[in-house]
Amino acid sequence: MELTFLGTSAGVPTRRRNVSALALRPRQSSDWLLFDCGEATQHQIMKTPLSLYHLRRIFITHLHGDHVYGLFGLLASRGMLLCEGPLEVYGPSGLKEMLRTVMDLSQLRLPYELTVREITADQILEFDDYRIETVALSHSITCYGYVYTESDRPGRFDPDKARRLGVPEGPLFGRLQQGESVTLPDGCRVESRDVMGAPRPGRRVLIGGDNDRPELFAPYRGADLMIHEATYLQKDFDRLPRKFRHTTARQLGKAAAEMKIKRLAATHFSARYDSEEKMIEIEREIRENYRGELILASDLMRIEL
Ligand SMILES: [Zn+2]
Ligand SMILES: [Zn+2]
């Protein structure tokens, strides 16, 4: 699968970072999913190989503007481009009313089928090749995280096993790998499942919205990748006269270490950190506790998993 950060700034865009949005293209798929849709997400999409024609589902974490104000423009543009494939939008309660109001007032008619589903906590949404679970997060308004889990992947072809069963190396190997059964020169049949290893569990990605308690993802410890906000450095957060419900870099590093997350991508940085030096400070704070692979997200960065 492939993930593309479309926006990594918190609250307001900066010259280098747009507000929140993340694209996820599942393994072997041209269709893709969008998580959050801050203003100007459609402009960011134009800078990537992703196309609105293949956008299939949108998941909104919460209704703060920096996560959702790009939705109306994106839906309208997808209509103007005459994309006909249906589109599903998932998000918290209030999303339907928000969309209906904007669409009614601006008399927006879409040439495609739009389904809006309001979610609750601990839901499991099953799709063809993956499932998505919803996690209630802790923020100033209702906010959900999404847990993306791939279906189990087929086992790997075992060439030694094939040789032991008398399969000659060559085209028959390829056919067995494709799931076909083959007949050997001596008339024996070999089934594909005889030469494939056990299925491998699908990979899991935790996608946080805004949240001041990253440990809420603890039921998914050991996940392959966690994408989570690290809005502030601890020292700046401690000095804030009014506390916003966000995670600090130190807190994220600690939680990710405790949850044994394999790869951590920090994002949603306060606009005050719009420099390389500040990113080094954020990295240092996360690294006080977290030893796994660490990514500090930047706009248009892609991760292959
Ligand atoms: Zn935000
Ligand atoms: Zn928020």
Q: Is the dihedral of CA 45, 46, 49, 52 positive or negative?
A: positive
* Cα–ligand 1 centroid distance for 10 (angstroms): 5
Which amino acid belongs to residue 188? C
For 42-52, how does the pLDDT look when each residue is reduced to its tens digit (9 = 90+)? 999 999 999 99
Between the CA atoms of 297, 23, 69 and 64, what dihedral angle is there, to the nearest 10 degrees? -60
* Cα–ligand 1 centroid distance for 67 (angstroms): 6
For 131-177, how does the pLDDT look when each residue is reduced to its tens digit (9 = 90+)? 999 999 999 999 999 999 999 988 889 999 999 999 999 999 999 98
Q: Has 299 been annotated as catalytic?
A: no
For 255-270, how does the pLDDT look when each residue is reduced to its tens digit (9 = 90+)? 999 999 999 999 999 9
Residue in 31, 36, 66, 160 annotated catalytic: 66
Domains of the chain: 2-153+200-304 (3.60.15.10), 159-195 (no CATH)
The average pLDDT across 16-45 equals 96
Residue 237 φ/ψ region, left for φ over 0, alpha for ψ in the -120 to 50 degree band, beta for the rest:
alpha
From residue 165, alpha-carbon distances to 26, 120, 168, 175, 187 in Å are 35, 52, 9, 15, 12
* Cα–ligand 2 centroid distance for 86 (angstroms): 28
For 81-126, how does the pLDDT look when each residue is reduced to its tens digit (9 = 90+)? 999 999 999 999 999 999 999 999 999 999 999 999 999 999 999 9
Name the percent of the chain lying above pLDDT 90: 91
Ligand nearest to the CA of 64: 2
- Give pLDDT, residue 153: 83
